[in-house]
Structure formats: structure tokens, C-alpha cells
């Protein structure tokens, strides 16, 4: 685990954008399989989370069509919550950062780390917006 003082600003960046932090497997179980659309960001301390993933997620949720719920789990911190979220993301392997869109509890769109690294935040945001336009 990372020191909380280190990850606090990274957590806050998504919370300030309207995301709810899920810190237990029970919170994940209550959020993801619900009706409607749920956007999950697996947050991370890595550079591609800071430069690409979080800015893309924040930009995409400003789209006219956006998910009903915005939630986040933090890799390297709340292990049970992250593990539970990743169960819902199967068959995709564990990845952080990562982003997943669920509709009525079913995974409908996934962005893995390899799709985040080295890509501009706007390109990732455009990918998310297309998914939001289709499913939300």
C-alpha cells in the first residue's frame, strides 16, 4: 500500500469531478451490478493515470450523455474493493489504470492500461464519449 498522503490528491481529483470512492468489496457489489450505467475508474499512482487516465475520465463525464453513476477504486490501496471491481471486469486481466462502463450490471466497454499509456487524454476521452453516447 502507498502512504495515504501520497494518494490523497490523486483520489481527490476524481472525487472533485463527481466520482464516488468505493473502498470495500461491499460498496463495489452495491454499485456495479445496479440498473442503469456505471462508469468505473481503477485509479493508480502511475504517470499514465496522472497524464492520461484521470484527465480523460474527467473530460468524458462532461459529455451531454454520461453514466448514471461515476465510481472509482484505487489500485494499491483498498485491495478488496479493487479485486471485486476486477471480478466484474473479467475476462479482461487486471490493469491499472483502467476504465469500464457497465449497463444494467453488464460490462459493455473497457479501456485497459495498454490503451491509456502513450495516448493523449483527449483521444481516450473521445473513446469514452463514443461509448457514453451509445450506452447511456
Which residues are catalytically annotated? Answer: 46, 48
The C-alpha cell at 91 is: 475476462
The C-alpha cell at 60 is: 468524458
- Written as one string, the DSSP assignment of 26-53 is HHHHHHTTSSSEEEEEEE-SSHHIIIII
10-42 per-residue burial string, b: 16 or more CB within 10 A, e: under 16:
bbebbeebebebbbebebbbebbeeeebbbbbb
Q: Are 127 and 99 in contact (CB under 8 A)?
A: no
Amino acid at each position: 500500500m502507498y502512504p495515504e498522503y501520497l494518494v490523497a490528491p490523486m483520489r481527490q481529483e476524481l472525487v472533485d469531478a463527481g466520482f464516488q470512492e468505493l473502498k470495500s468489496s461491499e460498496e463495489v457489489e452495491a454499485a456495479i451490478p445496479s440498473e442503469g450505467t456505471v462508469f468505473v475508474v481503477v485509479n493508480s499512482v502511475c504517470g499514465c493515470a496522472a497524464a492520461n487516465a484521470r484527465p480523460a475520465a474527467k473530460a468524458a463525464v462532461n459529455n451531454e450523455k454520461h453514466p448514471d453513476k461515476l465510481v472509482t477504486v484505487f489500485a494499491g490501496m483498498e485491495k478488496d474493493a479493487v479485486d471485486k471491481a476486477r471480478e466484474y471486469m473479467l475476462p479482461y486481466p487486471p490493469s491499472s489504470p483502467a476504465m469500464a462502463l457497465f449497463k444494467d450490471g453488464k460490462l459493455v466497454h473497457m479501456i485497459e492500461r495498454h490503451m491509456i499509456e502513450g495516448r493523449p487524454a483527449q483521444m481516450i476521452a473521445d473513446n469514452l464519449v463514443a461509448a457514453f453516447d451509445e450506452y447511456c
